[in-house]
Amino acid sequence: MRAATWVSSTQQVREQLLRGIRQGTLPTGAALPSERELCEVFQVSRVSVRQALAGLEAMGLIDVRHGRGTFVREGAAAHYVGSFGRYLELHRGQLLELLAVRGALDRLAAREAANGTRAERVVEAHRAYLEMAGAPRPDFDRAAELDVAFHVSVAEAGAGGLLPVLLTDLHGLLTESRLITLSRDGQLARSAAEHQAIVDAIVGHDAEAAGRHASEHVARVRRWVADFPADEHDPG
């Protein structure tokens, strides 16, 4: 059974606009499409579009100029990182709880995968992540997608069908934290090494080691989120 990927309409719009800001396809001063155009492009309601834009405005990434349109603020791409710090100040507890749940589920998924017979899924997903991690100029959005794909592949390698669904939905709630984490200096290489330890244990059918490595991998991210100061990366 393959996990179904689901995100809300608001999240779909917000993440696509965030990607454009981060990657520069929506540079400083660029006008965003109108609400009507965004509704047509994403096939969502005007309420979803307005909620997505309100979230980006609250993060300080766009300016909504009534009667003129919506524009990308100066320095928005760099400001995004600092906004994450301020977001953490408000939602750190919720993120830590989500990561704790994810750690427990990842541990269980890795143990199940090590006891299963479909380790090739995990190996293939890890190989794709390694290629991205070793690129001279990695695309962090793509790296985040491959990171999720790796962890979901571990769940899919087990015997059950519920874990992949639960982990896919849970990863969808951790998009911002994953992008910031992976953009840290050396983090792609660290994640690749930690993934390798999980892969080796699964291929070796060592359920205890697989579960331990998976749990430690998430625990490191959780500790970083717990210790992240609001102004660590704030360009202001």
222 vs 81: which has the higher pLDDT: 222
**Fold observed for domain 77-227:** Four Helix Bundle (Hemerythrin (Met), subunit A) (1.20.120)
Tell me the C-alpha distance between 162 and 164, whole Å: 6
Nearest Cα residue to 212 out of 204, 185, 177: 204
First to last CA, the chain: 47
Domains in the chain: boundaries: 9-74, 77-227
Q: What is the pLDDT of residue 81?
A: 57
In the structure encoding, which two tokens stand for residue 197, read together?
A: 């330890």
pLDDT for residue 236: 34
* pTM across the whole model: 0.67
For 38-60, what is the mean pLDDT?
A: 87
The CATH class for the domain spanning 9-74 reads mainly alpha
**Left, alpha or beta for 29 (phi > 0: left; psi -120 to 50: alpha)?**
left
- Cβ density class 103-142: b for 16+ within 10 Å, e for less: bebbbbbbbbbbebeebebbeebbeebbebbeeeeeebbe
Query: How do residues 110-151 score in pLDDT, each as one tens digit?
Result: 999 999 999 999 999 999 999 988 888 778 888 888 999 999
d(Cα 163, Cα 39) in Å, to the nearest integer?
33
For the chain, give the mean pLDDT: 84
Same fold, 9-74 and 77-227: no
Read off the pLDDT band of 232 (50, 70, 90). very low
Q: Is the pLDDT of residue 224 over 50?
A: yes
CA-to-CA dists, residue 180 to 16, 71, 85, 168, angstroms = 16, 23, 10, 19
